[in-house]
Structure 1
Amino acid sequence: LTGENLASFSGPAMPYWHFEQLLPTWAKKADSYIRERAETDEPFFLYLPMTSPHTPLSVNKPWIGKSGLNNLYADLVIETDDVFGRVLASLEKHGVADNTLVIFASDNGCARYVDAKGMEEQGHFPSGPYRGYKSDAWDGGHRIPCVARWPGVIRDGSTCGQLVCLSDLMATCAGIVGDTLPDTAGEDSVSMMPLFREAGETGRSIAVHHSITGKFAIRDGRWKLLLCPGSGGWTYNDADAAGAGLPLVQLYDMQVDPGEIQNVQSAHPDKVKEMVALLKQLVA
């Protein structure tokens, strides 16, 4: 049997396999797990990594067109939001919402190939004010939502501009259960508990990441350095950028230029040298 699931690639498929049933199935399984754990009155941990809104864009029929953007990716984001809402409703239903930390996050920025430009033309910007898309070293490629709810600990409606990384969840979870990580584990993980309690900064000012082609970037406070002339990914090929005469290094002041528009590497050679040395030290 050959099948094609909406925006996915065509290829061999089992006759009983329906990708669009994954989201509702996970919502039901999450509800069952929460109910079972709530009945024991013991602590529990639920990790729910959804495949959405990644391709294949297998949107259930009630959600097709809901975004109003004529875009299956946008419709799938809305369906994903519904599943997350069902998990929150399950916590309420089983009486554990007030004693549960919930964290919602993503893995990377929106992909350009889901017709991101088409959505932008309609006034919806998946990357917000940030430059680039999935695969890029620019912030649009990897800057993601991180939403947390913890009644009695995190103040309702509060926001935080502190730099964090998903690797920080390791130290955060260890601290919550009263454990201490050994020196050889989670060396780059910093607990987010001070941020949750609004008790000061976490101590993280540096984050190292790279693009899909392995081009490194480092964020240090207000400064961000990229070791590539283009996006480091699919948006602006580095070979094309170099051929256009662009500098091989990019430096941005993220405090005044979060969109990474003005490359100021030539005006701050000492900062470039300092951050290159720091990056070498951290990845060595």
Structure 2
Amino acid sequence: MNMTKLSYYLFLSMTLNCYACLWTWGQTLTQKPNIVVILADDFGVGDIQALYPQNKIPTPHLDQLVREGMTFQDAHSSSAVCTPARYGFLTGRYNWRTPLQEWVLASYEPPLIEEGRSTLPEMLRESGYATACIGKWHLGWNWPGEQTSQMLAEGNGLRKFQWDYSKPILGGPTAHGFDYYFGTDVPNFPPFTFIENERIYIQPTVRYRKEEFEGMFLPPIFDDMPMAPNWKFEEILPELTRRAVDYIHEQSKSEKPFFLYFSMTSPHEPVAPSDRFRGKSGIAPIADFVMETDWSVGEVLNAIEEAGISENTLVLFTGDNGHNYYTDLDKLLEAGHFPSGPYRGFKGDIWEGGHRVPFVVKWDKKVQAGASSDQLLCQTDVYATLQELIRGDSPSSDEAEDSFSFLPVLLGEKSGSQRSSLVSHSVHGEFSFRNEEGWKIVYLLPEKSVQLSRGKAAKVELYNLNVDPSETKNLLEDHPEIAAKLEQELRIVVERGTSRNGRERANDVEVRFDTIQHARWALQ
């Protein structure tokens, strides 16, 4: 064979091999990955030891996730407290656009996600996914009873009424895109029992009596509330973990991709570590519970490995808000553990420690292991990111109004997310607005409480997070022009009903960021 023919065959062989490689890579990218979201409850941005080695609670499983995934260092929940943060995550929309202007959904209150509102699980189900939510819901149900679930000014006022636990409970997870649900609405709210799909799993035929042991932190108003026989708070997380593991193994046998939203109940109160973790930290029950949370994450990650689906499973770990301040925080600080890292504040606060959250994504051979990104990110962005990944397009103007895809960042491309600002919200209904340059304007209660502040103008402060991440120096007097610019930008985001370009949308109610709301529910 002469050199000309040899060169030709070598060239042909190399070309075919290249096409084969490209075809295989394309097939891998276009194959829909399984998606497992692990949402910890009240897990601080500083609670993963690999990211804050000076902190004192060991988290070996989350440390491994950090080594194998990409960590987003500037990630935030939509709100600094449970219900509104979960609304933002599942809808891709800021929570303060809804009637709920402060606090969380109380026991027996109605669904916060309105009928017809598109959700992340609905989008994925329409794209061919099996969808499941296991764990805490805390987004409301239509509870059956002599009265209806309703929006009350008095928090947990509906606990006084009688409810029919034998009938279906509508408006929950299965009404908003999940094929299957198992969990507890809120672990520290009645009824104290599990729910499966639309039914109470075990009838609450006995009454709760507060057990006196360190670490419970259950409101005394719930004493004598309905409870399932032999209900043990310390058994909630192990049971939910077992069911999440079982779901992964079950779905791994199907050719259909799956989306698992594992909404953990820890380390939220009732702080009730199981026997194997009680006292293990040597610090406090809350530290033990953080360790058990890490164990639970490890069980889910191990299940993915054992099922042989790791390479085609995207895992996302995050928290719904900052670490709680009233569950033995003093003991953590005394031990040298700082759950908010260098940031000011904790759960509920408009300060960074209230809404800056851990955010780690692992996807073998797609997301660079051990990588870190300083991309500004809100949990509302998960919706658009997964839609771009799965469908190759963006949400319409009628859905996920505050969601920006960060997929290019996740896949290591040079272009970043289109998110250039962030609106945050506190448990008291306070607002803040942040831009890419690190400037943050804050609208605070002018008085010591919400009740004394209602209807009054918010107190305004200004910070530069790039030079002052702990928010210690108010720069409002030094830079009034920056404050005025930020306020105008925030006003546009609020009044347009969307953060994205294109057609304007409408908020569900009138929203004022510069004035403290008159009531918890802003009803039209």
Partner of 2:506: none
- Indicate yes or no: 2:420 matched with 1:214: no
1:76-103 C-alpha deviation (Å, 9 max, x unpaired)? 1110110111000000000001111000
Partner of 1:65: 279
Of the candidates 43, 46, 49, which is equivalent to residue 257 of structure 2? 43
How far apart in 2 are the matches of 1:99 and 1:2?
44
Partner of 1:137: 350
How far apart in 1 are the matches of 2:260 and 2:331?
36
How far apart in 2 are the matches of 1:277 and 1:100?
42
The 8 Å contact of residues 439 and 465 in structure 2, kept in 1 or not, is answered as: yes
- Indicate yes or no: 2:443 matched with 1:227: yes
- Indicate yes or no: 2:303 matched with 1:90: yes
Query: TM-score normalized by structure 2?
Result: 0.50
- Indicate yes or no: 2:209 matched with 1:3: yes
How far apart in 2 are the matches of 1:84 and 1:42?
24
Of the candidates 252, 256, 278, which is equivalent to residue 467 of structure 2? 256
Of the candidates 357, 364, 369, which is equivalent to residue 156 of structure 1? 369
How far apart in 2 are the matches of 1:133 and 1:161?
21
How far apart in 2 are the matches of 1:67 and 1:190?
39
Cα separation, partners in 2 of 1:259 and 1:238, compared to 1, 3 Å: farther
Please state how far the C-alpha of 1:34 moved relative to its aligned partner.
1.1
1:230-275 C-alpha deviation (Å, 9 max, x unpaired)? 8x9xxxx479xx9xxxx93111111111110111111111100011
Partner secondary structure for residue 250 of structure 1: strand
How far apart in 2 are the matches of 1:224 and 1:256?
12
Partner of 1:185: 399
Deviates more, 1:274-283 or 1:13-22: 13-22
Partner secondary structure for residue 176 of structure 1: helix
Instruction: Report the AA paired with residue 249 of structure 1.
Output: V
Partner secondary structure for residue 47 of structure 1: strand
1:128-176 C-alpha deviation (Å, 9 max, x unpaired)? 1000111110001111101110111111111111110110111111112
The 8 Å contact of residues 462 and 483 in structure 2, kept in 1 or not, is answered as: yes
Instruction: Report the AA paired with residue 155 of structure 1.
Output: Q
Of the candidates 476, 482, 487, which is equivalent to residue 271 of structure 1? 482
Q: Which runs of 5 or more structure 2 residues have no equivalent in the other structure? A: 1-206, 496-524
How far apart in 1 are the matches of 2:208 and 2:376?
46
Please state how far the C-alpha of 1:8 moved relative to its aligned partner.
3.3
Deviates more, 1:8-17 or 1:59-68: 8-17
Please state how far the C-alpha of 1:179 moved relative to its aligned partner.
5.2
Q: Indicate the structure (1 or 2) with the bigger Cα radius of gyration.
A: 2
Q: How does 1:15-26 map to 2 (within 5 A)?
A: 15-26=229-240
The 8 Å contact of residues 217 and 327 in structure 2, kept in 1 or not, is answered as: no
Please state how far the C-alpha of 1:229 moved relative to its aligned partner.
6.5
How far apart in 2 are the matches of 1:185 and 1:14?
39
Q: Which runs of 5 or more structure 1 residues have no equivalent in the other structure? A: none
Query: TM-score normalized by structure 1?
Result: 0.90
- Indicate yes or no: 2:378 matched with 1:165: yes
How far apart in 2 are the matches of 1:33 and 1:14?
24
The 8 Å contact of residues 229 and 249 in structure 1, kept in 2 or not, is answered as: no
Q: Percent identity?
A: 37
Of the candidates 31, 41, 55, which is equivalent to residue 269 of structure 2? 55
Instruction: Report the AA paired with residue 335 of structure 2.
Output: Q
Please state how far the C-alpha of 1:177 moved relative to its aligned partner.
1.3
- Indicate yes or no: 2:293 matched with 1:80: yes
Partner secondary structure for residue 173 of structure 1: helix
1:173-192 C-alpha deviation (Å, 9 max, x unpaired)? 11121153211111210112
How far apart in 2 are the matches of 1:146 and 1:101?
13
Of the candidates 348, 351, 360, which is equivalent to residue 147 of structure 1? 360
Instruction: Report the AA paired with residue 8 of structure 1.
Output: F
Instruction: Pick the structure with more helix per residue.
Output: 1
Please state how far the C-alpha of 1:116 moved relative to its aligned partner.
1.4
Relative contact order higher in (CA < 8 Å, ≥ 6 apart): 2
Cα separation, partners in 2 of 1:8 and 1:14, compared to 1, 3 Å: farther
How far apart in 1 are the matches of 2:325 and 2:287?
13
Cα separation, partners in 2 of 1:229 and 1:24, compared to 1, 3 Å: closer
How far apart in 2 are the matches of 1:259 and 1:205?
21
How far apart in 1 are the matches of 2:449 and 2:443?
10
The 8 Å contact of residues 350 and 426 in structure 2, kept in 1 or not, is answered as: yes
The 8 Å contact of residues 430 and 445 in structure 2, kept in 1 or not, is answered as: no
Supply the RMSD in Å over aligned alpha carbons.
Answer: 1.9
The 8 Å contact of residues 343 and 471 in structure 2, kept in 1 or not, is answered as: yes
Please state how far the C-alpha of 1:42 moved relative to its aligned partner.
2.3
The 8 Å contact of residues 104 and 148 in structure 1, kept in 2 or not, is answered as: yes
Instruction: Report the AA paired with residue 217 of structure 2.
Output: S
Number of residue-to-residue matches in the alignment: 272
Instruction: Report the AA paired with residue 127 of structure 1.
Output: S
The 8 Å contact of residues 228 and 238 in structure 1, kept in 2 or not, is answered as: no
Please state how far the C-alpha of 1:14 moved relative to its aligned partner.
3.5
Instruction: Report the AA paired with residue 210 of structure 2.
Output: E
How far apart in 1 are the matches of 2:375 and 2:396?
25
